[in-house]
Amino acid sequence: MFNVIVRNSKGEAVSTTFIDQPHCTLGSGPDNAVVLPGWKVAKLHAELKLHDDGVHVVNRAKLKALRVNDVKVEQYGPLTLGDTLTLDDYHIKVQIKGGGIREQNDADPNAHERLYQQLREKLYWSVADALTEDHHNRIDDEHNATLRNLITTALNQWQDIPAAIDRNRMGRQVMNEFIGLGPLDKLLEFDDVNEIMVNAADEIFYQTDEGTQRASDRFTNDDAVVRAIKRITRESGRRIDERSPMVDARMKGGSRINAIIPPLAIKGPSLTIRRYKNEKLTASHLINYQSLNPAMVKFLELAVKNKRNIVISGGTGSGKSTLLNILSNFIPEQERIVTIEDAAELELSQPNLVSLETRPEDADGQGSVTIRDLVKNSLRMSPDRIVVGECRGGEALDMLQAMNTGHDGSLTTIHANSPRDCVNRLEVLVLMSGMDLPLSAIRGQIQSGVHLIIQQTRFPCGSRRITSISEVSGVDSNTVQLGEIFRFEPQGFDADGKVQGRFVATGVIPAFLEKLRERGINVDFSMFE
């Protein structure tokens, strides 16, 4: 009947199961013909059915996704050897066998894939070598027609290609690498893909709310990856080459990218795309995502409007920039705001807004403009608020000085794993400024300049939560004191592996609210109950 060939996310063979019935099931339960252990796989996840035209697949899980070639489906067919089913970290191919019994000397199930890749690379280089230098950097109808002719001619000249090789699919894949971003174009079409990570030509991962999964497609080779990277960087006015092998940039739609190429990237060119959501997120979205509760939103809005200096702390991908964007939109419209970022992605709606972006050095190693340069310059632009996308160097000192010299209500983010770690990291970043300051002076600047620290955490299941909101309350025994106002208390995981818990108010009342009450301003203290 047919073989079910299973690989893991590393491409390693897991199992090959011969199915001698016209249908079979796949899932984590022991009664399935193909058992796929893992809590992200449903007990009965999918069913394969053999029809006259081939094998079809049907999703049998209500809450788990089934993907074919990285596209969510409920049913799909007939499957070819070029199609890949994805269930969590498992990549599955179906191979129809002649007759009804399994042969003991079955051919290597990976042989078809290896041959396909060899031919795809041969086609890629035949096209690349035929293109002129002018055509390499063009995207227009004439260029596309030239590419189609080159690909069609090359494929027609190969008389010994096995019938099982899908020539049309191979031609489309190579064509897309010369006119677009290759296998990334399809991933970028999906709204549920939050991040795309290319580790090497044959290692593409993407992240959704369901977690991180490996893409079923790949680039032809390293040259195709570099071609995609250079296309993105050219559009953003940046460059990447052997003299400057790293780059931060943003795509036309606002998505943020980081790329690094050999010799610094050992396995091959690497590309990370942090997607920009077309839908503008608000605090209501965060409540729906269970990232925080309404009382916390109410408090944070009050803090921003009353010009508290706020530092958002968290790890990579924890949602710091998203939260920064949402909090920035609480700033009153009559105030003048200056935003400073490496790659501009903040979307503020206030009318009196200046957005600044850093600039890398040019081909001669000159002309770079850093975040620190922009922070210093922003102080001369009469801002009411300064919003820095991320502090990761000596600009932390300039930011603290701004917070301490009349620019209250400023916001920034920092990489740290807890509010206490955030304070320690701020101290280190200030020392990176090159100023020989004693720790006592730095801690005094932090205590007087930073009012609130918000801790963002991304859990292994992919859920993002604000796990702590703390007030910087002073310095005691040469240690910055923190008072936790809200915290998230984990309470295990649900059936889908998502973290469960509750947000609680600790009972600590921030000092600035007491001052507001003393001035006769009505404050709703029920949010701290």
In whole angstroms, what separates CA 467 from the centre of its chain? 20
The answer to whether the CB of 270 falls within 8 A of the CB of 199 is yes
Exposed e or buried b for every residue in 460-496, given b needs 16+ CB within 10 A?
A: ebbbbbbbbbbbbeeeeeeebebebbbbbeeeebeee
- In the predicted model, residues of the chain with pLDDT beneath 50 are 99-106
Query: In sequence order, what are the residues at sequence separation of 6 or more whose Cβ sits closer than 8 angstroms to the Cβ of residue 520?
Result: none
pLDDT at residue 105, as a whole number: 40
**CA dist 304 to 298, 307, 361, Å?**
10, 5, 35
Torsion of CA 211, 266, 244, 391, to 10 degrees: 40
The per-residue pLDDT for 100 is 36
Residue 430, both tokens: 């200030």
Six token digits for residue 258 = 């980081």
Radius of gyration of the chain (CA): 27
Rounded to whole angstroms, the Cα distance separating 210 from 73 reads: 15
E strand map for 131-176: none
Fold that domain 111-274 belongs to in CATH: Beta-Lactamase (3.30.450)
Res 449: pLDDT: 93
pLDDT in tens, 213-248: 888 889 999 999 999 999 998 888 888 988 889 988
Taking Cα atoms as reference points, which of 194, 278, 270 lies closest to residue 228? 270
The CA distances from residue 185 to 179, 181, 470, in Å, are 10, 5, 42
Q: Return the CATH fold of 2-96.
A: Tumour Suppressor Smad4 (2.60.200)
Three-state DSSP string of 409-440: CCEEEEECCCHHHHHHHHHHHHHCCCCCCCHH
Q: How is domain 283-528 classified at the CATH fold level?
A: Rossmann fold (3.40.50)
Q: Locate CATH 3.30.450.380 in the chain.
A: 111-274
Residue 216 in contact with residue 70, Cβ under 8 Å?
yes
Residue 390 and residue 371: Cα distance in Å, rounded?
9
The answer for residues whose C-beta is within 8 angstroms of residue 114's C-beta and 6 or more apart is: none
- Does residue 371 contact residue 394 with C-beta atoms inside 8 Å? no
Q: Where are the alpha helices (DSSP H) in 280-438?
A: 283-288, 294-305, 320-328, 371-378, 395-403, 419-431
Distance CA 72, CA 83 (A): 13
Q: Secondary structure of 456-467 in the HEC alphabet? A: EEECCCCCEEEE
Helices 439-449/419-431 angle, 10° precision: 120
pLDDT of residue 344: 75
What count of other Cβ atoms lies within 10 Å of the Cβ of residue 126?
17
As annotated, the residues of the chain forming the CATH 3.40.50.300 domain(s) are 283-528
The amino acid at 20: D
